[in-house]
Chain A
Amino acid sequence: DTAVSQTPKYLVTQMGNDKSIKCEQNLGHDTMYWYKQDSKKFLKIMFSYNNKELIINETVPNRFSPKSPDKAHLNLHINSLELGDSAVYFCASSQEGVDTQYFGPGTRLTVL
């Protein structure tokens, strides 16, 4: 069973489009995260939700909007995609009070 899953794995789209990436975890964790890995493989946190409440909101454009319908899901919606949004986006989850974060396989977003 996959602990943290993301869909789609690859996403190729045109500039200006709106797209969503979905994340689900079956570990029973109460905290979920979105990270962005750029072309130089640098990883940086974007958002964090704890029990469906936004905890961390890094300085990302308003075009990025996370949505957590329940504790097991954290989706990322991106409006008006730009070339610079091309990256690999990773979802992760953890249990509050426990330090280890478990990562999904990543979604490679390519904006043309």
Chain B
Amino acid sequence: AQSVTQLGSHVSVSEGALVLLRCNYSSSVPPYLFWYVQYPNQGLQLLLKYTTGATLVKGINGFEAEFKKSETSFHLTKPSAHMSDAAEYFCAVRGKGRGSTLGRLYFGRGTQLTVWP
């Protein structure tokens, strides 16, 4: 079974400050890893993903995340927060199995990011 834990349901930062959103996963094999962003009353938009290869992945809007197998983590960072970054962020893992596990996304419970002026 796979699971995702996002530490901190709410994170507040000042504009221009570092953004760090934490994500840890539990999986028998390293899964595919994703970060999605949800703006108010909108659907989910893919920020970035890790499948194979380079463990530091860059996404849209200046976000990046690093896959650390030894720590089973995939934390999301952005060097300088902007007001427009305020949203809900979801970490997700995707199974690599076949059959019913194929394609299934397991989501964390989300982290609400607030950016203060």
A32's nearest neighbour on chain B, judged by CB, is B103
Q: How many residues of B contact A (CB 8 A)?
A: 24
B41 CB, min distance to chain A CBs, angstroms: 8
Least CB distance from B9 to A in Å reads 9
CA A40 to CA B99, docked complex, whole Å: 29
Partner of B104, one of A45, A90, A103: A45
Q: Number of contacts between A and B (CB, 8 Å)?
A: 60
Verify A104–B107 contact, CB threshold 8 A: no
Partner-contacting stretch, out of B11-19, B43-51, B65-73: B43-51
- A96 partner residues in chain B, CB cutoff 8 A: 102-103
Residues of B within 8 A of A42 (CB): 107, 109-110
User: Taking beta carbons and an 8 Å cutoff, which residues of A are in contact with B?
Assistant: 4, 31, 33, 35, 40-45, 48, 50, 55-56, 90, 92, 94, 96, 99-106
